[in-house]
Structure 1
Amino acid sequence: MTSTTESSCTTETVKGTHRFQICQFSYGNVGDNDYIRSGTFRVGGFDWVIVYCPDANCIDGEGYISVYLELMSKYAEASALVDLRLINQVTGEPCTIYAENNVPNQFNSSSFEEATWGREKFMSKRSLKDSVYIRDNCLVIECVVTVVHELRVSENKAVCEVEVPPPNALEHFGKMLKDTSGADVTFKVRGETFPAHRAVLSARSPVFKAQLSEPMKENKIWHITVDRMEPAVFEALLHFVYTDSLPTMDDLDRAEKNAVVQHLLVAAIQYGLERLKLMCERILCMSLDVENVAVILRLADQHDCRKLKEACVDFLVPAERVAVMASHDYEIMKLFSPSPLADVWEKSRRPRRSSP
């Protein structure tokens, strides 16, 4: 018995938002400090502040405000995503000005540079003047902090498994073939009787469907005689119809099995069983030898089995061709099935004339 367990890896995040209102925005910085800190707010177990610089020192002479997020917890390290916004005071909606939402920023309170993240040129004062972000000379900065904690791996837990057995419909159909109690048609093949089921035959073969299409009277069993087919071949045909496979035929030697497959190929064509036809072609391709290649070539030529015909031609390398052409089956093929290939073989036997 096998068992399966599973565990999961998750990253816990904590999000918090803080708004910092800057009153008398136009007054700029008042006092000796170059920056102003908001009140401390706590997110994800850490203390934070918004740092606002009203008069950033810019080389190009245009005035800017600077905005940062600062980690205030002492001797702390944190990983966080940051979204710095301004509030549209007409609609009340926040507008992102500068954000990092893909890779968390690493904060370390050991120094101001490592403890802060933001933008020196957050927005120019010229852009802010008479904008939707200033109302009654007030500016509102909003900061959304998402603290990312370490990965957590859960404990193993058992996975509920329901074992489903492999499909066995064909196995049941095979048993159905052996169980004659529900048979409603019998085939008589050279004195042997084979019971079967009309529904199965009609579903598998268009020829059987046409043959058995007439309505059946109550308690009537159809009796059909099959001419020009050996019982072993018809039995193999029924086995395929019910199981989609060929019988093992372990009681037959190589030549006998080859002969059955040849006749089964003809039966497959007769009853419109394309897959069975291809299976027989494949078996015959793999069992070609000097003794049977002429017969199989004649069979392939008669029933337009192109792949099988090509395999026979490929088999006839110069070393094998002489032996095949000397066989009795080859002579029969020339008499009863004079295919173009026989002419090609004859030409290959004739010595080439030397040029004068």
Structure 2
Amino acid sequence: MVRGAHRFKICQYSYGNVGTDVNADGFIRSSTFRVGGFDWAILYYPHGYGDDSEGFISVFVEFMSKYDGATALVDLRLINQVTGEPKSWCSFFREDEDPIRFKSGSFEEATWGKERFIRREALEDSVYVRDNCLVIECVITVLGELRVSETKALCEVHVPPPNALQHFGKMLEDTSTTDVTFKVEQETFAAHRAVLAARSSVFQKQLSEPMKKKTSHITINRMEPKVFKALLHFIYTDSLPKMDDLDRDENNAVLQSLLAAADQYDLERLKLMCARILCTDLDVENVAGVLWLADKYNCQKLKEACVDFMDSSNRIDVVVASQGYQLLKRSSPCPLTDAWEKRSRARISFR
């Protein structure tokens, strides 16, 4: 079986079915997501589906693959936006139950869910609606067909999972074979020029054979030691280090600096990893700085996430008034600040 999850964020929840996002039949469909080789979507009816659902919202999962069928278990949940934890609201998720058989074709065969999912008044001022947004999570387990082979292998050789990155990580800890050192402020880091050159085109040029005698000891300017340490950790392990000792603001600051360092050393995967985490940790104080960072280092998806955050539920007025925005405006003006301020003033005038 294959299990996957998708979260569907409903913005402007209080407006119900007013707006272009609502289908003529009174529902909003999420983007398509793929689980078990099949396409799925979430259907949200802000004013219910059917005559018996007045005062309720209705939620269904829809099988979107054409000319096909799938057997699956489904769990429809609401996300507590205070704790971030999901709560099951409509479930068909026990492996010992007969699963649902989805087929393309009619609405009844292609969907499963609940017409009376939850009363709208029960959502008002609840932990499930924040900033006029509601988040629905759908967890799907697709079950494959049981197949029994008549033959049996004579022997089975167990092959352990790949562990090359573990060995590279140990190389970073062992300084006996290093051949280049970096001084970052008052700290020194030892590394292997072959590993650095293989991972970064910038290091490859800097540590090439003609430059070997000049690059045994390198000073790194304008970078904190903890940021350079995280950069080396990624180069050797292809992953981010644990930063449990940092609080939320410190962790966010390190990620922003690490994204800039990733761009400097041509480490695109690290750059995208930092951008993905920053997308999930935006608030009114840091979004302006992250937007400036995304614009400077050409992170389009991160830029879009910042703009969506600022625009969602009229947050832009709060962002423009925040200390972080004002500091950014004075120190490093973002190309988008004027446009956002105009939009903010226009909204205030409209009110």
Q: TM-score range by the shorter chain?
A: 0.5 to 0.7
- For 1:350, what is the secondary structure of its paired residue? helix
* AA of the residue aligned to 2:236: Y
Question: What is the CA RMSD across the aligned residues, in angstroms?
Answer: 2.5
Match of 2:277 among 278, 283, 290: 283
1:294 aligns with 2:288: yes
C-alpha separation in 1, matches of 2:183 and 2:157: 47
1:276, CA displacement in angstroms? 0.5
The answer to which of 311-320 and 192-201 deviates more is 311-320
Match of 1:262 among 252, 256, 260: 256
Note closer, same or farther for the CA distance 1:238–1:155 as it changes in structure 2 (3 Å cut): closer
- For 2:156, what is the secondary structure of its paired residue? coil
Note closer, same or farther for the CA distance 1:325–1:354 as it changes in structure 2 (3 Å cut): closer
Note if contact 2:285-2:325 (Cα within 8 Å) is conserved in structure 1: no
The match for 1:118 is none
TM-score of the pair, normalised by structure 2: 0.53
Offset from partner CA, 1:240-275 (integer Å, 9 cap, x none): 000000001111111111100000000000000011
Note closer, same or farther for the CA distance 1:182–1:320 as it changes in structure 2 (3 Å cut): same
1:179 aligns with 2:155: no
The match for 2:297 is 303
Note if contact 2:181-2:191 (Cα within 8 Å) is conserved in structure 1: yes
The match for 1:97 is none
1:230 aligns with 2:224: yes
- 1:110-259 alignment, distance < 5 Å: 159-215=154-210, 222-259=216-253
Give the greater-gyration-radius structure (CA). 1
* AA of the residue aligned to 2:261: A
Note closer, same or farther for the CA distance 1:233–1:308 as it changes in structure 2 (3 Å cut): same
The match for 1:129 is none
Structure 1 consecutive aligned stretches of length 4 or more whose deviation exceeds 6 Å: 352-355
Offset from partner CA, 1:36-64 (integer Å, 9 cap, x none): xxxxxxxxxxxxxxxxxxxxxxxxxxxxx
- For 1:288, what is the secondary structure of its paired residue? coil
Note closer, same or farther for the CA distance 1:353–1:225 as it changes in structure 2 (3 Å cut): closer
Note closer, same or farther for the CA distance 1:224–1:246 as it changes in structure 2 (3 Å cut): same
The match for 1:95 is none
1:319, CA displacement in angstroms? 3.3
The match for 2:343 is 348
TM-score of the pair, normalised by structure 1: 0.53
Offset from partner CA, 1:212-249 (integer Å, 9 cap, x none): 1135779x981100000000000000000000000011
Note closer, same or farther for the CA distance 1:162–1:261 as it changes in structure 2 (3 Å cut): same
C-alpha separation in 2, matches of 1:337 and 1:303: 14
1:301, CA displacement in angstroms? 1.5
1:354, CA displacement in angstroms? 9.1
Higher helix share: 2
Offset from partner CA, 1:195-228 (integer Å, 9 cap, x none): 000100000000001001135779x981100000
Note if contact 2:206-2:215 (Cα within 8 Å) is conserved in structure 1: no
Point out where structure 2 has 5 or more consecutive residues left out of the alignment: 1-148
Higher strand share: 1
1:329, CA displacement in angstroms? 1.7
Offset from partner CA, 1:126-184 (integer Å, 9 cap, x none): xxxxxxxxxxxxxxxxxxxxxxxxxxxx9975630110000000000000000000000
Note if contact 1:184-1:221 (Cα within 8 Å) is conserved in structure 2: no
- For 2:329, what is the secondary structure of its paired residue? helix
1:304, CA displacement in angstroms? 1.7
Q: Between the two proteins, what is the percent identity of the paired residues?
A: 68
1:323 aligns with 2:321: no
Note closer, same or farther for the CA distance 1:273–1:352 as it changes in structure 2 (3 Å cut): closer
The match for 2:95 is none
- For 1:338, what is the secondary structure of its paired residue? coil
C-alpha separation in 1, matches of 2:261 and 2:280: 20
- 1:98-113 alignment, distance < 5 Å: none
C-alpha separation in 1, matches of 2:249 and 2:185: 22
C-alpha separation in 2, matches of 1:314 and 1:198: 42
* AA of the residue aligned to 2:156: E
Note closer, same or farther for the CA distance 1:348–1:163 as it changes in structure 2 (3 Å cut): same
